[in-house]
A = this chain, B = another copy of it.
Amino acid sequence: MSAIEIPKPDPRILARRAEILAGLAALVPPTSLITEEDERRAYETDALTAYRRVPLAVVLPETTEQVSRVLTFLNREGVKVVARGAGTSLAGGAIPSEDAVVLGVSKMSRILDVDTANRTIRVEAGVTNLGVSGAVSHLGFFYAPDPSSQLACTIAGNIAMNSGGAHCLKYGVTTNNVLGVKMVLIDGTIVELGGAHLDAAGYDLLGLIVGSEGQLGVVTEATLRILPLAEGARPMLMGFQSAEDAGACVAAIIASGIIPVAIEYMDRPAIKVCEAFAHAGYPLDVEALLIIEVEGSEAEIEDLIGRITTIAADYNPSGLRISQSEAESAAIWKGRKSAFGAMGRLADYICMDGTIPTGQLSAVLTGIARICEGYGLRVSNIFHAGDGNLHPLVLFNANDPAEQEKAERCGEDILKLCVELGGCLTGEHGVGIEKRDLMTYQFNTIDLDQQMRVKTALDPQWLLNPHKVFPLAGRPV
């Protein structure tokens, strides 16, 4: 996606670099300020590695108060700020510009409070996603949203992107699991939103902050909902002779009111590659495979599997297999979780992240096949089918610039199709810089203006993570 523009740095800021560094040095401990170029280079990109810019400086504050002082200073000086969790954004959400200061939350990673009676945990925003579950698993609890990068990614980044994961079908995405945040606005004011209770008086600013991609403030603490671990869980495999049958089956399960923990979809190319990689025992004679996991007591599991099997019978399933052991469950999930890595051994790919209403699954799969055929490109579909969050992988040869460009246009067409079918551009990866210029397909000028009015209200100079989310043309600043 070499066509995405990152604006040139403001020469007036570059000229004042020494002065800005001196100002920062007075506000944070020496170990919290990175100025050397070779060290700054570690912050030049995130998981969208095709784009990179070395930032002006990197600050790693240790407290909310330090974040407040840093933002007060940078706001007064008119310097851009890019907040950063672990840098795992696939959409380029943490890529800086050369005139921006990166503000990393990695030194704020303490667990502050665990309250099982109210099922909440309060953490600093630099705690990793898996670190939250790790802090409560011995008490029989877990934190539900589980992005694939959960070993590394931080709660700060999860909140910025409203991250999802396989468990989100049943438990919701980040916004459904964050009860409150402490955050710092660009002018240094510290605000607390929400808390360990349902709803709140006044406007729902908390909901607005979740998914705002670091553009409205820097979150430094969060109160999260934790859930009791289920008694048990069991995956089942179900093969189909066509993508349409599999898609229709998913829609029928969801329409029936059953909410499994996960419904994952793989097409024939993905099944073949993953089976070769993980020896998970997937059926090789089908066009599409669903992995459906249910959880609960043994009675609930039996009941749900029975109901799902009955619904699926209308869609010509084959190769039905219900896991009979922990080892078999682990193998089934190992195959799915290694899917992206396994595909990467086969070919280069770009991973899209659109969503659609689940009733449109058959239509979107047919449409994706048609689009890719038109470009003469192979596609592999591996995704969270239950909540309509697609991750089609468009395969191409990265050493052929013409084919890369073709793959990018193909990916764009797929996202436009999602919007046409009543879905949207991103399910869990965010807009970042990657989909910034596609926002005009989802929203008209009036819709975008409303969103930008809120940005301007909270960050009048547009200093917080600029160049993201909104197309560069038509901005008020």
Does A77 sit within 8 A of B, measured CB to CB? no
Q: Judging by beta carbons under 8 Å apart, are A201 and B431 in contact?
A: yes
Map CB proximity to B onto A370-405 as digits: 1 under 8 Å, 0 otherwise: 000000000000000001110000000000000000
Does A290 sit within 8 A of B, measured CB to CB? no
Does A10 sit within 8 A of B, measured CB to CB? no
Measured in the bound complex, the distance between the Cα atoms of B198 and A356 in whole Å is: 8
Q: Judging by beta carbons under 8 Å apart, are A255 and B117 in contact?
A: yes
Q: Judging by beta carbons under 8 Å apart, are A212 and B203 in contact?
A: yes
Q: Hey, which chain B residues are within 8 Å of A457, CB to CB?
A: 453-454, 456-457
Measured in the bound complex, the distance between the Cα atoms of B205 and A449 in whole Å is: 12
**Given known contacts A192-B447, A457-B453, is B439 in contact with A201 (CB within 8 Å)?**
yes
Residues facing B in A416-445 (CB within 8 A) are: 422-428, 430-431, 435, 439, 442-443
Measured in the bound complex, the distance between the Cα atoms of B450 and A332 in whole Å is: 48
Q: Judging by beta carbons under 8 Å apart, are A191 and B446 in contact?
A: yes
Q: Judging by beta carbons under 8 Å apart, are A204 and B201 in contact?
A: no
Map CB proximity to B onto A187-222 as digits: 1 under 8 Å, 0 otherwise: 001111101111111111101101110001000000
The stretch that binds B, out of A39-47, A99-107, A296-304, A333-341, is A296-304
Measured in the bound complex, the distance between the Cα atoms of B115 and A138 in whole Å is: 43
Does A125 sit within 8 A of B, measured CB to CB? no
Does A2 sit within 8 A of B, measured CB to CB? no
State the interface size on chain A (CB cutoff 8 A). Answer: 81
Q: Judging by beta carbons under 8 Å apart, are A201 and B435 in contact?
A: yes
Q: How many copies does the complex hold?
A: 2
Q: Judging by beta carbons under 8 Å apart, are B197 and A357 in contact?
A: yes
Measured in the bound complex, the distance between the Cα atoms of B191 and A300 in whole Å is: 43
Q: Hey, which chain B residues are within 8 Å of A455, CB to CB?
A: 203
**Given known contacts A227-B257, A357-B196, is B300 in contact with A203 (CB within 8 Å)?**
no
Q: Hey, which chain B residues are within 8 Å of A257, CB to CB?
A: 227-228
Q: Hey, which chain B residues are within 8 Å of A117, CB to CB?
A: 251, 255, 358-359
Measured in the bound complex, the distance between the Cα atoms of B201 and A211 in whole Å is: 8
Q: How far is the CB of A36 from chain B (nearest CB, A)?
A: 36
**Given known contacts A300-B300, A450-B191, is B199 in contact with A426 (CB within 8 Å)?**
yes
Q: Which residue of B lies closest to A298 (CB)?
A: B303
Does A316 sit within 8 A of B, measured CB to CB? no
**Given known contacts A255-B119, A257-B227, is B454 in contact with A195 (CB within 8 Å)?**
no
